[in-house]
Every structure is written in structure tokens, then in C-alpha cells.
A and B are shown apart, each in its own frame.
Chain A
């Protein structure tokens, strides 16, 4: 896969998935605390989202950052727009803005936390296409 093809793949993933998270690892197995927090917030809101692990090939991250102008991972996109990295996602989660943006109810944080099972639309497998 050429760099251009990777960039096109990323671009399409952002356009085709209303809630698209680029992260290190997977929602089931995050490979970094920041990615874990961002996917954890989406899990807690119970929204469907697509996630792409950037770790299998460093070009994924390079092309993603080239496209978004954002240097770090994770990166959350909603409706094709970059919402932010883990700091912004957590700030917006805690303030209820993220729930509002995604059109879901803010979970009652005082009550027992729901088991945070990821709700994924479908797996995105870029790594299988790299060779």
C-alpha cells in the first residue's frame, strides 16, 4: 500500500464513519492510556464508533497527522471534523458536550458505572491491506 493509498483509506474512514477514532491499540485492548481514555469515554456514552489502530504501520500515523494537522494520538472525528485528542475528548465528556455532540444522554456518573463494552460499527482492518 502506498502512502497515498493509506491517506485515501484514512480520508474515507473519516467520511464514512460518523464517529471515527484513531487510536493506539483497539477499544478492546488499548495500547496507551490516552487512547484508553478516549475510547472509554465513547464506550461510556454507548455510541457506535469505528476505531482504527495506528500502530501496525507508522505511515498510518504520519498520513493521519498530515491530513488532520494534529500531532498526537488518539484523534476523534465526528461528522468528518476533528474534535480533538484525549484532553479535549475528556473535557467534553465530563462537561456533557460530547454527549450533546453525539446526540446521546449523558450517563449518570454518580450511579454504578456500566460495564464499558465498546460498541463498534464494524472492524476496520487496514493492517491486512498493507502488504
Chain B
């Protein structure tokens, strides 16, 4: 998790999890958004997300 501007409102998250296995990118990103709840779009202006499964071949979609 990186604060990209230092202002505490733009972040980049790179998450590797086997929970992403078999999910579409939309579903993967929604799991991350769910962690932050209403803060995304509110206090967090921008959250850039990159999701990956542990196995490189496990790319959903």
C-alpha cells in the first residue's frame, strides 16, 4: 500500500491473494474496495489497485 502523493488521499494497493483465484478483475477489485468501505470516493480520493493470484497463470479473464 503506497501513498502516491503523500497527501493521505491517493493510494496504490498491490495485493496478491489466492482468494482472487477464479474471480474476474471486477470481483477482485471489489474485494479490495470492500476493505475500505465508504472511504473510497470519500476520504480516499483515489485508490489504484493491482491484484494478482500467487500463480502467474491464474489470471482470471
A contact residues vs B (CB 8 Å cutoff):
34, 61, 65, 69-72, 82-88, 91-92, 97
The contact string, 1 if C-beta is below 8 Å from chain A, for chain B 15-36, is: 0000000000110011001000
Check A70/B49 contact, CB under 8 A, given A84-B25, A91-B25, A97-B61: no
CB distance from A99 to the nearest CB of B (A): 14
A89: nearest residue on chain B (CB-CB)? B25
Asked if A88 and B30 sit within 8 Å, CB to CB, the answer is no
The contact string, 1 if C-beta is below 8 Å from chain A, for chain B 39-60, is: 0110000111110000000000
Question: Which of chain A's residues have a CB closer than 8 A to the CB of B29?
Answer: 84-85, 87-88
Option from A61, A69, A87, A92 in Cβ contact (under 8 Å) with B30: A69
Option from A72, A82, A87, A88 in Cβ contact (under 8 Å) with B41: A72
Number of cross-chain contacts by CB at 8 Å = 33
Question: Which of chain B's residues have a CB closer than 8 A to the CB of A71?
Answer: 33, 40-41
Add 18 more A-B contacts to A87-B29, A87-B50 (CB < 8 A).
A34-B46, A65-B41, A70-B30, A70-B33, A71-B33, A71-B40, A72-B33, A72-B41, A82-B26, A83-B26, A84-B26, A84-B29, A85-B29, A87-B48, A87-B49, A88-B26, A91-B25, A97-B61
A95: nearest residue on chain B (CB-CB)? B59
A65, A72, A83 pick with most chain B CB within 10 angstroms: A72
State in angstroms the CA–CA spacing of A70 and B40 once bound together: 10
